[in-house]
Structure formats: C-alpha cells, structure tokens
Amino acid sequence: MQDHNAARPNRSPGHIISDLREGNRRFALGLSSLADSSPQRRAALASGQSPSIAVLSCSDSRVPPELVFDQGLGDLFVVRVAGNVVDDAVLGSLQYAVQHLGVKMIIVLGHSACGAVTGACSRDSEDLDPATYRLLQAIEPAAEAARTQCSIPDELVDTAARINIEEQTRVLTKNALIGQAVAEGLLTIQGAWYELRTGLVEWL
C-alpha cells in the first residue's frame, strides 16, 4: 500500500453518506453505473491511493462493499473479517487508513443473517478451533446483550448483529490514534446495516 496525497474533494460526513446512499439505491435497483474499473482508472491508481472512506465489513460473500455502494477502484479502503469484528490486524489496517491515507470516515457495516453472529448466539463452542473461538468471543458481548433485549428467537441473530456494530464502533473509538482523530473532528465513525433480501443499507 502506498500513501497518496493527490487532491480530492473535501466532503463532509453528510455528503459522504449521501453519495453512498445514492450508490446503494442504484445497486438495490440493479442500476449500478459508477463503479469504475477501467484500464484508465487502474493506470491512474498505479502510483497511489487516496480513498476518503474506510469500510470494516463482514467477509460474507453476499456483502461486497464496493458493489453494495456502487463504488469503483480506489474509492473505498475495505477491511473484511467474519462478524466485522475489530482485532489487531483490523485495527492496524484502519489505523493505517486514518494516519497515512487520511480517510474521513470509517463505516462499520453489519448485515442480516450473519453466520458469525449466529455462531456466537448458539453458545455451542465445544468443537471450535481456537481461532474461531476467539472470533466468536469478540461477538459474545453483543449476543449476550441481545438475549436480554429480544424475546423472539427468530430475531435474536439480527438483534445481536446490530448491537455488534455498536460494540465494534466503540472498540475503534477507544483506540488512541483513531479516537484522537474523532475528537479533533478529522474522522467520523458510522454504523450501517445491510439487509440481504432488499440490498438496502440502513444508516444507524
């Protein structure tokens, strides 16, 4: 990854969300049009990148952020991990995006019917390997909170997934570098929810 300080529009958080909302609307309608992956775009990006948005999303194959928001090469700095949880690798990647790329917004994107959250809600960890167990443990606080809030079993996973977005956002804010950027007004952290059935993103 290379730093790139090329001039780019100084968009406010409101403008960023508005642009992404419109891109998501096009995607949901099957009208995606602005995702530029042309040879010219590749050539322009060969010397560096200057995305203004970072996205922490689940690694679920049904939730590709570039497609969901109708964005092209170089538009999003994307970190994907099951359950959109923050671990050391994720944190290091997002710190890089803030410190060296100057992203203006980090979006924590969760989604409906998340397999990782389903695993955390099941409380069945006896046969899990250590790495998977640690991953689900990061989601367990959200699962536990959902159990106290949700009386309908069919809604437990999605309730936990939404709470998990809030939990992971808090983890990011507690990081010294990222928290300082937020405090100085240089960075916004925004939660978002993707509904698999409709293709629409809800901004939390």
Where along the chain do its domains lie? 13-203
Q: Kindly report which listed range (17-21, 86-90, 93-97, 123-127) carries the lowest average pLDDT score.
A: 123-127
At residue 152, the pLDDT reads: 85
pLDDT digit string (tens) for 135-144? Answer: 999 999 999 9
85 with 140: CB under 8 angstroms? no
68 with 201: CB under 8 angstroms? yes
At residue 53, the pLDDT reads: 97
**pLDDT tier, 38 (very low <50, low <70, confident <90, very high otherwise):** confident
Instruction: Report the pLDDT averaged over residues 73-83.
Output: 96
Q: How far apart are CA 12 and CA 174, in angstroms?
A: 23
Residue 18: its H or E element: helix 13-28
**pLDDT tier, 9 (very low <50, low <70, confident <90, very high otherwise):** low
Q: Which homologous superfamily does the CATH classification assign to the domain defined by 13-203?
A: Carbonic anhydrase (3.40.1050.10)
Instruction: Report the pLDDT averaged over residues 73-102.
Output: 96
**Which 8-state DSSP code applies to residue 63?**
-
120 with 80: CB under 8 angstroms? no
Predicted TM-score (pTM) of the model is 0.90
Alpha-carbon radius of gyration of the chain: 17
